[in-house]
Amino acid sequence: MDGQISRKNLFLAAFTGIALPSTVRNAFAQTTGSFSLDDIAAMERVIGFSLTADQRKSLQPSIKELRDQNLALSNLKLPNWVAPAFAFHPVGRQPAESKRTEVRLSKRPAPTFKSDDDLAFMSVADLGVLLRKKQVTSVKLTELFLRRLKTYGPKLLCVIDLLEERAMREAKQADEEIAKGKIRGPLHGIPYGIKDLFSTSEGRTTWGAGPYRDQKFNEDSAVVEKLRAAGAVLCAKLSLGALAMNDVWFEGTTKNPWNPAQGSSGSSAGSASSVAAGLLPFAIGTETLGSIVSPSHRCRVTGLRPTFGRVSRYGAMALSWTMDKVGPIVRFAQDAAPILAAIHGKDPRDTSTVDRPFSYRPDIDFGKLKIAVLQNDTALDEDDKEGGPDEALKILKSLGVKVEKVKFTPPLDGADYCLSVEAAAAFDELTRGPGIENLKNSMWPAIFRANEFGTGVSYVQSMRARTRVMETFEKELAPFDAVLTSDRGSFLLITTNLTGHPQLYVPMGNGRGVSLIGHLYDEGLLIALGEAIQAKTGTPLLRPDLTKFA
């Protein structure tokens, strides 16, 4: 752009107060700062608006006031975690407010293991049985997973920081409590990792981005607080694509353990990669528009995106205040239940959170269920395979589930505009300052700059479009208990990230998988369905060949 200075460039910079490359800024500095009728006409073309010459003339004083207002707001330099003075809540069928939480895991004998590898790929539930029967200790498990993180983390580029001292301290405390018979629950003594956009009282919180690589908050996020209360042992901060986009962070591309030549997808890249490689029993990720489901699909693990507002985001980097969600990534679907049970609930520090009951039990009556199968199921991109969820469909039918093919309505064009605008607002200070130049190999700078030129009217219209999307999806979902789709959910991945409905990704093997989408706050049913499918396929027992990373 430096070599192509135009009145349009100058006007856009003046109108929004956004920083443009140096030659453009310097050229504009020599102008009067007033706005001509041609300036206003240029902006009309940008936003798709049309005025007469007299209407443009009448706007000249107001345009300057609007520019001054934009500059005043940007000069506030609001921290990323300051949320807007409104909260988004999904609309649709949902249970009444309640803190009731009930998780009934399948009863199982103490599992056997012959090697550390067997332990590393064991389910959270089985590891919990071994801990409570005192056949292993939390210290032993923590040392095992720390070794694996040190060995394979640098090769997979899935670890940003190890929290070794903290992990060993928490593991020793867990062992002491378990020895005294003080069992906090099914996660007590279980090691885990967390996406590095959550603040922790020790170590960095880099958001995967060069401008923030040395950032520290010295405070635990809400999710870390709740998992600590459940007795889980935090071992590592895991990689994410810079500012929660794709799998590229400031040290490189996080890899898929099943295919060293392939990135792990994003943005919960390290969370999915580490669980797939047996470096951790479970990890916490986030999703705004596919960031749990997509890496789970690529890395062949199970990812749960809970209902929007189910889990507090306090202490997490904000990308979209109305779309960000927090959820677990595991190998075995059932393991998602005790994790969600531990982290859900209302938090006054996150005004979007609510108290809704959470219940999981595996012994549901499948014969009473009616599942919709997405009829207009199409691949999102080349990552998804053509064809429907045939194998999972056969399994559900064999369990007595009633199924019906249904054509759902795709989301309205422009309904997701709110995401890019909120992201630009969250990183307005970065965009207007020199730090944006340190955000390498990322599409964010262009997106942030472009959305500085968006309008408040368009943002409100996109939120109104979301209302229509919620109403339509709720109407089409109403006759069914859940929806089954291939791979990442086709266009329903976009729809349900806008509506706030929960989604569970279940790998089926060979890079294929299915998604289960449910009613608001009905994650327990999705987990039960996922567990039933996995019991027939045995997919979670498969292990990637890590000798490729030796």
Kindly list the catalytic residues. 195, 267, 291
| Residue 427, CA distances (Å) to 127, 252, 253, 359, 395 in order | 41, 22, 23, 37, 46
Question: Rounded distance, CA 455 to CA 70, Å?
Answer: 11
| Residue 26, CA distances (Å) to 22, 64, 113, 419 in order | 6, 20, 68, 32
Question: Rounded distance, CA 519 to CA 166, Å?
Answer: 38
Phi first, then psi, for residue 256 (nearest 5°) are: -85, 120
Angle, helices 7-16 vs 37-47, to 10°: value is 80
Question: Rounded distance, CA 504 to CA 330, Å?
Answer: 11
Locate 215 and state its tokens: 């950032």
Diameter over CA atoms, the chain: 83
DSSP assignment, residue 344? B
3-state secondary structure 424-485: HHHCHHHHHCHHHHHCCCCCHHHHHHHHCCCCHHHHHHHHHHHHHHHHHHHHHHCCCCEEEE
The DSSP result for 211-274, as a single string, is GGTT----S--HHHHHHHHTT-EEEEEE--STTSSSSEETTEEPEETTEEEEE--SSSHHHHHH
Question: Rounded distance, CA 112 to CA 109, Å?
Answer: 9
Angle, helices 53-74 vs 37-47, to 10°: value is 80
Locate 147 and state its tokens: 């070794």
